């Protein structure tokens, strides 16, 4: 067992961390998993007295993103316990279809090391993999189904007990207000060069609030939402190719179902990368859109209300608009939040997502018709 990370030998640290958890047997191997983007994940293998091996996933929790790791873990523990119960009731395999938190010896769901870093351990889900890109339309159907099923299994979760670990995460009304405040301030003198872009958001400021307003009026309920509905957060069963389990639960929070759906569509049904500058390449692939929608609506019909299902296409439009405004805001503020790899990178990203909004607007009737077809 040997593991180097950023020039620092972390094998010793991991051994120390692991000693605080009741793992089966002794640690024999540690392998970093390079897939993730936010957390560092390691696969741990232990061997017990009978020579049997056991695997675990060890992660640090990103304190830059999550200011309150205890709340993050409280949400994850409550949600995974609920999922476990539901999966058992449905005759499924709770060890493979949900994350299982291993509690430390002191009863906590995490361990804090001497540097103040938070660590947690899950059972390792064997015989399954995550993929960064969607290979075919069938995968998108599976992804839609997996995220839909995730919400459905949590339909009777006591939502008021869930912490808002990132306040106002998808408060699109506030996001718009923050955007126009940055325009007003113009701290880098960049506003004069992006006036048509700003006009784009001015025209759409009202519709950005549409779902938030409906929620405030009691027309849309808060649900347990995942908030990072990327394809690489679904474990796919190696044997069957089917979606097995939704992972990466750090951002689980109360939210609107349409935003989980919408963010997945924004990401997975777009025909180009988020920073493609040839905007003629950026549109919505309606076949992929239909596949994801079929999976998601199929898994949530009977649970999501009619109004919620009808607002799904709005979720896609508004979440794309929100991200576009965040990219442009960051450009105006001097690229403080999203890391850039070239000049005007955030402006390129903003224009790309604005184009995607335009494409969704053009195809909106079709998007609504497809959604209705599966309701
Ligand atoms: N319980 C687990 N069992 C097996 N693999 C896991 C488990 N948890 C995470 N992984 C692997 O580690 C990768 C990163 O984990 P994830 O929780 O998605 O972190 P990030 O926030 O960095 O994306 C996943 O894509 C998956 O391949
Ligand atoms: Mg992930």
Q: List domains and CATH numbers for the chain.
A: 4-126 (3.30.200.20), 137-374 (3.90.1200.10)
Query: What number does the ligand 1 atom closest to the CA of 250 have?
Result: 21
pLDDT in tens, the chain (375 residues): 444 445 457 888 999 999 999 999 999 999 998 765 556 899 999 999 999 999 999 999 888 788 899 999 999 999 999 999 999 999 999 999 999 999 999 999 999 999 999 999 999 999 999 998 887 888 899 999 999 999 999 999 999 999 999 999 999 999 999 999 999 999 999 999 999 999 999 999 999 999 999 999 999 999 999 999 999 999 999 999 899 999 999 999 999 999 999 999 998 899 999 999 999 999 999 999 999 999 999 999 889 999 999 999 999 999 999 999 999 999 999 999 898 999 999 999 999 999 999 999 999 999 999 999 999
What is the number of the ligand closest to the CA of 96? 1
Query: What number does the ligand 1 atom closest to the CA of 123 have?
Result: 1
Taking the centre of ligand 1 as the mean of its atom positions, its distance from the CA of residue 248, in whole angstroms, is 6
SS3 (DSSP) at 322: helix
User: CA separation (Å) from 305 to 23, 119, 144, 172, 300?
Assistant: 43, 38, 17, 21, 9
Rounded CA separation 128/52 (Å): 20
**301, 283, 293, 248: which is closest to 358 by C-alpha?**
283
Taking the centre of ligand 1 as the mean of its atom positions, its distance from the CA of residue 39, in whole angstroms, is 8
Query: What number does the ligand 1 atom closest to the CA of 248 have?
Result: 17
**Which of 40, 84, 121, 248 maximizes ligand 1 atoms within 8 Å of its Cβ, making it the mutation to test the pocket?**
248
Taking the centre of ligand 1 as the mean of its atom positions, its distance from the CA of residue 183, in whole angstroms, is 38
Which tokens belong to 32?
Answer: 């970093």
Rounded CA separation 103/106 (Å): 8
């Amino acid at each position: 067992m040997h593991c180097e990370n950023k020039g620092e030998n972390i094998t010793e640290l991991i051994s120390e961390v692991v000693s605080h958890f009741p793992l089966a047997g002794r640690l024999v191997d540690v392998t970093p998993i390079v897939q993730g983007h936010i957390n560092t994940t390691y696969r741990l293998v232990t061997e017990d007295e009978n020579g049997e091996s056991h695997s675990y996933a060890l992660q640090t929790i990103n304190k830059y993103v999550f200011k309150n790791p205890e709340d993050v873990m409280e949400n994850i523990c409550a949600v995974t316990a609920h999922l476990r119960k539901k999966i058992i009731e449905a005759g499924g395999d709770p060890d493979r279809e949900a994350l299982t938190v291993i509690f430390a010896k002191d009863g906590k769901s995490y361990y804090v090391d001497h540097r103040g870093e938070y660590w947690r351990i899950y059972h390792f889900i064997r015989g399954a993999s995550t993929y960064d890109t969607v290979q075919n339309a069938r995968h998108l159907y599976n992804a839609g189904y997996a995220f839909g099923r995730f919400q459905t299994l949590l339909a009777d979760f006591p939502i008021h007990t869930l912490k808002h670990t990132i306040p106002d995460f998808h408060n699109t009304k506030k996001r718009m207000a923050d955007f126009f405040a940055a325009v007003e301030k113009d701290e880098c003198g960049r506003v004069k060069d992006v006036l048509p872009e700003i006009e784009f958001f001015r025209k759409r400021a009202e519709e950005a609030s549409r779902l938030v307003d409906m929620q405030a009026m009691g027309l849309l309920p808060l649900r347990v939402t995942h908030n990072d509905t990327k394809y690489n957060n679904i474990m796919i069963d190696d044997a069957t190719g089917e979606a097995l389990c939704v992972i990466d639960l750090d951002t689980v929070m109360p939210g609107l179902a349409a935003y989980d759906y919408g963010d997945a569509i924004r990401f997975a049904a777009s025909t180009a990368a988020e920073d493609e500058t040839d905007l003629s390449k950026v549109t919505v692939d309606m076949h992929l859109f239909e596949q994801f929608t079929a999976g998601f609506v199929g898994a949530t019909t009977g649970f999501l209300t009619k109004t919620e299902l009808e607002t799904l296409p709005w979720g896609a439009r508004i979440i794309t608009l929100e991200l576009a405004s965040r990219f442009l805001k960051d450009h105006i503020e001097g690229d403080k939040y999203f890391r850039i790899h070239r000049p005007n990178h955030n402006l390129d990203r903003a224009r790309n997502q604005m184009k995607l909004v335009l494409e969704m607007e053009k195809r909106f009737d079709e998007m609504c018709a497809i959604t209705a077809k599966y309701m």
